[in-house]
Amino acid sequence: MLDEYLFGSVSRISPEAPVPVVEITSSRRLLGGAANVAANTRSLGDEPILIGLVGEDEASVKLTQLLKQRNISSKYLVNDKSRQTTIKTRVIAHSQQVVRTDREDRHVLSPDIENKLLKRFISVADSIQAVIVSDYGKGVIAKSLLERVIEVCLQKDIFIAVDPKETNFHNYRQVSVITPNHHEAGFAYGQRIVSETDLMDVGTGLLKKLKAKSILITRGADGMSLFQDGAEPTHIPAFARKVFDVTGAGDTVIASFVAAICSGADLVEASIVANAGAGITVAEVGTATVTVPQLKRELERNIKNGNLAAASTSGIHHV
| Average pLDDT taken over every residue of the chain | 89
Q: How many domains does the chain have?
A: 1
CATH of the domain at 293: 3.40.1190.20
pTM over cut 0.75:
yes
The answer to the question of residue 16 being in a domain is no
251 catalytically annotated: yes
Q: Please say whether the beta carbons of 62 and 28 come within 8 A.
A: no
Confidence of residue 307 (pLDDT cuts 50, 70, 90): low
The Cα–Cα gap between 51 and 68 comes to 15
Residue 25: other Cβ atoms inside 10 A: 10
Over the stretch 53-112, which tens digit does the pLDDT of each residue have?
999 999 999 999 999 999 999 999 999 999 999 999 999 999 889 999 999 999 989 999
Q: Please say whether the beta carbons of 102 and 133 come within 8 A.
A: no
Higher pLDDT, 305 or 316: 305
The Cα–Cα gap between 149 and 125 comes to 9
Strand order of the sheet with strand 159-163? 130-134, 159-163, 177-178, 214-218, 224-228, 234-236
| Cα end-to-end span (Å), the chain | 34
**Is pLDDT above 50 for 196?**
yes
The Cα–Cα gap between 93 and 125 comes to 44
The answer to the question of residue 44 being in a domain is no
The answer to the question of residue 240 being in a domain is yes
- Write down the catalytic residue from 3, 80, 245, 251: 251
The answer to the question of residue 50 being in a domain is no
The answer to the question of residue 51 being in a domain is no
Confidence of residue 164 (pLDDT cuts 50, 70, 90): very high
Residue ranges making up the domain that contains 314 = 69-80+108-318
